[in-house]
Amino acid sequence: MANPFIVTAKLPPDIQGWSDSLRRAHYPAQRNHLHAHVTMFHSFAPSLLDELKDFLPRVANEFAAPEAEISGVMDLHTGTAIALHSPQLLILREFIAEHFHGSLTAQDLYEPRPHITIQNKVTKREARALQAELAPQIEHTRFAFPALELHLYKGGPWEPVKACRFRGRERL
């Protein structure tokens, strides 16, 4: 079976650097193959590559960068994430999902909860301890996602395929 494609919302440099440092400090090193990211879609079929490479730039050219706010810590049961509040990102995700209706996998039919995973595949006790440590340190920071990114899943690391900077003026 061919590898699927993943769509993420790119983080701005300051949030990216901060999130990557948390990930390096708390994500199990043997599993930490990726930079911090916000996954919008986990798995598009390889047959959709040409359509994705055409559609995502059109979306980014039409819409303004979605705004977001870091809203706290999120419990992932065996991990920890930085929770994000972004109604605009959710609207954009729904717009993309409607375009690819019938092509989404079960994993991408869920009710999305935007977040940045900084720890995963640890014990519940380890996750709870990190959540308790980080909760009082999290600042409710506002930012805008500068781009959409398309990646090819390669088992562990992802291969970048295309980045589509938001250039539009239309607000979601």
DSSP assignment string, 23-74? HHHHS-GGG--S---EEEEEEE-GGGHHHHHHHHHHHHHHBPPPEEEEEEEE
pLDDT of residue 1: 61
Q: State the pLDDT at residue 86.
A: 98
Assign 100 to helix, strand or coil: coil
**Phi and psi of 46, rounded to 5°?**
-55, -30
Where in the chain are the domains? Answer: 5-68+86-114+144-165
Measured CA to CA, the distance from residue 67 to residue 95 in angstroms comes to: 16
Q: How far apart are CA 10 and CA 165, in angstroms?
A: 9
Residue type, 118: I
Any residues with CB less than 8 A from the CB of 121 and at least 6 apart, and which? 28, 31, 78, 79
pTM of the model: 0.95
Do 40 and 31 contact (CB within 8 A), yes or no?
no
Half-sphere exposure of 54 (CA within 13 A, CB side): 6
Per-residue pLDDT tens, the chain, 172 aa: give them.
689 999 999 999 999 999 999 999 999 888 888 999 999 999 999 999 999 999 999 999 999 999 999 999 999 999 999 999 999 999 999 999 999 999 999 999 988 999 999 999 999 999 999 999 999 999 999 999 999 999 999 888 899 999 999 998 877 7
- Which pairs count as long-range contacts for 46-49, CB under 8 Å and 24+ apart, including other chains? 46/2, 46/3, 46/4, 46/5, 48/5, 48/100, 48/103, 49/5, 49/161
